Amino acid sequence: MSQFDLFSQPENQFSSLDDVINALKHMKDDPLADAGTNVVISRGSPDAKLLIIGEAPGPEENIKGKPFVGRAGQMLDKVLQAANFDPEKDVYITNSVFRMPPGEDGKAFRKPTNEEIEYYRPYVFEIIRLIDPRIILLTGNVASQSVLRKTGITSLRGKWTELDGRWIMPIFHPSYLLRNPVRSPGSPKALMWEDIREVRKKYDELTK
């Protein structure tokens, strides 16, 4: 039994991606059901062989109903385009947590809790199963916790894990690059460029 099978099988598997999306849109008993925020699931191509899993929606994503459409999303698109990936055609982007966790102490939103990550986890793995990507990128600690049950992005980033024929790599969350904008040897931006070049190389090997 693989790690995917061991940790991730929901009580009932869905027959299609549309069924997963419909179930997520009509959830009433999830831990963020009373948060007053919208369900934000995905953007990009369901036929993509590159799947990117984010953390949770932020304010702009909550409004527009798509992941990575704010400043972090613009940074992600630039990173992808730098490696000759079309963010709309070559990539499918989803979340680890599908509603924006409401903020505390005047903040717009907060990091998802372990309970929230765990609740949505089977849906994440159903999306993985139905998209059937060759490569999965995990942006930041929440996504790494959801899929690999590991955190510590500075040590995890850039390292491949192969599971069920899929290649998984944690990378920095684009918002981290925005907080650390200087590009110099060993900087987050330089490391991200190293990682995305390695992703391009692996993608070409697996899809040629």
Q: What is the DSSP string of 4-24?
A: HHHHH--SS--SSHHHHHHHH
Specify the pLDDT at position 16: 96
Half-sphere exposure of 20 (CA within 13 A, CB side): 25
At residue 1, the pLDDT reads 34
DSSP letter for each residue of 32-87: TTTS---B--EEE-TT-SEEEE-S---HHHHHHSSSS-SHHHHHHHHHHHHTT--T
Instruction: Please check whether residue 49 is in contact with residue 203, taking contact to mean a CB–CB distance below 8 angstroms.
Output: yes
Radius of gyration (C-alpha) of the chain in whole angstroms: 16
What per-residue confidence (pLDDT) applies to 3? 45
Domain count, the chain: 1
The pLDDT of residue 188? 93
Please report the DSSP string for 170-196 in residue order.
Answer: EE--HHHHHHS----TTSHHHHHHHHH
**Which structural domain range is residue 79 located in?**
3-207
- pTM value > 0.75: yes
User: For residues 57 and 63, what is the distance between their CA atoms, to the nearest angstrom?
Assistant: 9
- Average pLDDT of each block of 10 consecutive residues along the chain (208 residues)? 44 88 94 93 97 96 95 95 96 97 82 96 96 97 97 96 94 94 89 97 95
Measured CA to CA, the distance from residue 163 to residue 174 in angstroms comes to 25
Check residue 185 and give its pLDDT: 86
Task: Measure the CA–CA gap between 76 and 199, rounded to whole angstroms.
Answer: 14
The pLDDT value given to residue 109: 86
Q: Which CATH number does the domain housing residue 28 bear?
A: 3.40.470.10
Amino acid of residue 120:
Y
What does the pLDDT read at residue 10?
53
User: Which pLDDT score, from 0 to 100, does residue 5 have?
Assistant: 46
Cα(142)–Cα(57) distance, integer angstroms: 12
Label the pairing between strands 161-163 and 166-171.
antiparallel
Please state the separation of Cα 2 from the chain's center in Å: 21
**pLDDT score at 4:** 46
pLDDT at residue 12, as a whole number: 62
For position 106, what pLDDT does the model report? 67
